[in-house]
Amino acid sequence: MSSGVRGRGGRTTIRRFLEMKQEGQPIVAMTAYDVLFARLLQEAEVDLILVGDSLGQVVLGYDSTIPVTMDDMIHHARAVKRGAPDTFVVLDMPFMSYQASVEDALRNAGRALKETGVEAVKLEGGHERTCETITALVNAGIPVMGHIGLTPQSVHALGGYRVQGRGEADADRIRTEAAALQEAGAFSMVLELLPAPLAEEISKSLTVPTVGIGAGPGCDGQVLVLHDALGLNPGFKPKFLKRFAELHDVALEGVRTYAREVRARSYPDAEHSFEGD
Ligand code: KIV
């Protein structure tokens, strides 16, 4: 792993994430939902894998994260942890797994750690009630990553997937939430879809690291949805997204070549067939 000191099992620890911030070393985070991509991210030495509830759109075909269940998250986080046993993995707590009561949050986050082996959970929101929940989880020994700015589980309340923190009042709300999350005990927080100057100001004001997505270069780390960053989801082109590969095109060409060869009876050929006795 590029980031130096490791915890037991070789993975980065929450203490190490703090040190990385102090040293000005960016945290590299990416989502994964299955064993193959988790293995690939571990091989690429990313610092943190997020089993995001973006699972809902990216893998399960829903049009938001709202239908995703705790069982869905556990199923996929187990696969990710099997592929990346030596990487710090965060499980995204799905909609309504922590909002109704602190007891729900404790029971579900406890399940996440016990049944999947992930190192931490992530919760969306920075208002008082969420912060109380985060403190209860941290007191129970469960590391928590916060998530403010655009919080996709609240897409209907926010009126769509749009940049947050524009205008002084909304910027102030985000500043207050960031400080409250740190105070509540979050070891890090995602800043999603924020103006770059606001995200940078917030990152500088905190001791815990921020991990940005669509929040500019001033965050302490960056996270991207793997399928978007590798060009597996070609229709999705938000301004902040850079495609680091074009896997859709490569995969499509591969499948088309396979289909052509099967139809032409040129695959399987002798090289790919077994001889008799
Ligand atoms: O669900 C997810 O993938 C996320 C990232 C976009 C941060 O929450």
259 within some domain = no
Q: Ligand 1: which of 33, 213, 219, 228 to mutate, most ligand atoms within 8 Å of CB?
A: 213
200 lines ligand 1 (CB under 6 A): no
Q: Domain of 175: which CATH number?
A: 3.20.20.60
36 within some domain = yes
125 within some domain = yes
- Catalytically annotated residue among 177, 192, 201, 246: 192
pLDDT in tens, 230-246: 999 989 999 999 999 99
129 within some domain = yes
Q: Ligand 1: which of 27, 51, 53 to mutate, most ligand atoms within 8 Å of CB?
A: 53
pLDDT in tens, 193-214: 999 999 999 999 999 999 999 9
277 — pLDDT class (breaks 50, 70, 90): confident
Q: Which of 140, 123, 233 is nearest to 225 (CA)?
A: 233
CA of 152 to the centre of ligand 1 (A): 8
263 within some domain = no
pLDDT in tens, 42-91: 999 999 999 999 999 999 999 999 999 999 999 999 999 999 999 999 99
Mean pLDDT value across the chain: 95
Q: Whose structure tokens read 């006795």?
A: 277
Please give the average per-residue pLDDT across 86-104, as a whole number.
98
Q: Is the pLDDT of residue 1 over 60?
A: no
138 within some domain = yes
Structural element, H or E, at residue 57: helix 55-58
Following DSSP, what letter does each residue of 113-154 receive, concatenated?
HHHH--SEEE----SHHHHHHHHHHHHTT--EEEEEES-GGG
Domain that holds residue 236: 8-247
Pairing of strands 88-92, 48-51: parallel
> How many domains would you assign to the chain?
1
98 within some domain = yes
Please give the average per-residue pLDDT across 156-166, as a whole number.
93
pLDDT in tens, 142-151: 999 999 999 9
276 within some domain = no
pTM of the model: 0.95
What's 3's DSSP letter? T
